[in-house]
Amino acid sequence: MIVDQIGNNFLNFRFPEKEGFTYGFNLYALVNNTDVMIIDAGFRTQAKMVYNDIVSKGLKLTHVLMTHFHPDHVNGLVALPEDITVLGSPEYHKTLRKRIAQTVTPVSFSKGFKFGEFDLSFTAAPGHSPCSILIDINGQHLHVGDNIMSRYDGKAILPWVEYHELANHIASLEMLKAMNRDRVLLAHGPALLNSRDINKAIENRLSYLRTVIKTSGKCTYEEAISECSCEYEGEEFFEQLKRD
């Protein structure tokens, strides 16, 4: 685990992918005096390491803010105290399968949430999951969850999406593109820190998803990525999508 300070009271816990795994993890932490909010919980291994690091610094984990509730983001909650506040999309129940001790508090898309010096606001971005949200942090960073995924070294990972959610994923990426942001945080892969890289990442994913939907999933993998200007990891996600 590598811990980077990426801003005032703002930490990034980075986990390179283990051998044989498609992706590593990023967990972000916001610090408010001695209280800490982490964004996503990863699997148990990541959650435990982050929790121990927070405790070793004399801080207290009080909140976990979920980008969405897929197992690789939520299972870590099992290793965390029961009394922490878990925040996430009001649609969390559509995805959450893991039995967790904590209660989920739905975020408000109109009011946002204040945590110390951090003003957080949320936008629904369904597609990768029905409960995916975008998290704006002080108008500077935008955490996009798994709307864009990449390897630890930045190599693109093919979007993971179920067939019936394709149109939603496309709409969410189009919305993200229109936001024209220049600092985007990912749950898997390094942050994208300029609008050119962000646009390129979005366009490549859109190109793949649009070809799949246009051909009703009958294209080959090579056809699906033919307009993309990047190479992808995670070809198996294409086969899974076609079987949906």
**Residues of this chain, 104-133, that bind Fe ion according to CB under 5 A:** none
What is the Cα–Cα distance from 233 to 86, expressed in whole angstroms? Answer: 31
Q: Which is nearer to Fe ion, 159 or 166 (CB)?
A: 159
31/50 with CB nearer Fe ion: 50
**Nearest to residue 159, comparing CAs of 182, 134, 196, 186?**
186
Stretch that binds Fe ion, among 81-89, 138-146, 166-174, 210-218 (CB under 5 A): 138-146
Q: Is the dihedral of CA 170, 219, 153, 13 positive or negative?
A: positive
**Interaction between residue 72 and Fe ion (CB under 5 A):** yes
Contacts of 29 (CB under 8 A, 6+ apart): 10, 11, 12, 13, 36, 37, 38, 39, 50, 54
What are the helix (H) ranges across 32-112? 44-56, 71-74
Shortest reach from residue 42's CB to Fe ion, in Å = 9
Site residues for Fe ion, window 145-164 (CB under 5 A)? Answer: 146
Q: CB of residue 83 vs Fe ion: minimum separation in angstroms?
A: 26
> Cβ 21 to Fe ion, closest distance in Å?
11
d(CA 181, CA 104): 29
Neighbouring C-beta atoms of residue 138, cutoff 10 Å: 13
Q: Which is nearer to Fe ion, 72 or 91 (CB)?
A: 72
Mask for 9-28, x = binds Fe ion (CB under 5 A): --------------------
Give the residue with the Cβ less far from Fe ion, 97 or 114.
97
The least CB distance from residue 74 to Fe ion, in Å, is: 10
Comparison of 128 and 141: residue with beta carbon closer to Fe ion? 128
* 162 vs 241: CA distance, rounded Å: 6
Q: Which of helix, strand or coil describes residue 63?
A: strand
The region of 65-73, 172-180, 205-213, 228-236 touching Fe ion under the rule CB under 5 A is 65-73
Are 126 and 170 within 8 A, CB to CB?
no
- Quick one: which segment of 1-9, 68-76, 201-209, 229-237 binds Fe ion (CB under 5 A)? 68-76
Min dist. Cβ of residue 65 to Fe ion (A):
15
Helices 166-179 and 195-214, packing angle to 10 deg: 160
Does position 40 interact with Fe ion (CB under 5 A)? The reply is: no
Residues lying near Fe ion in the complex (CB under 5 A) are found at: 72, 146
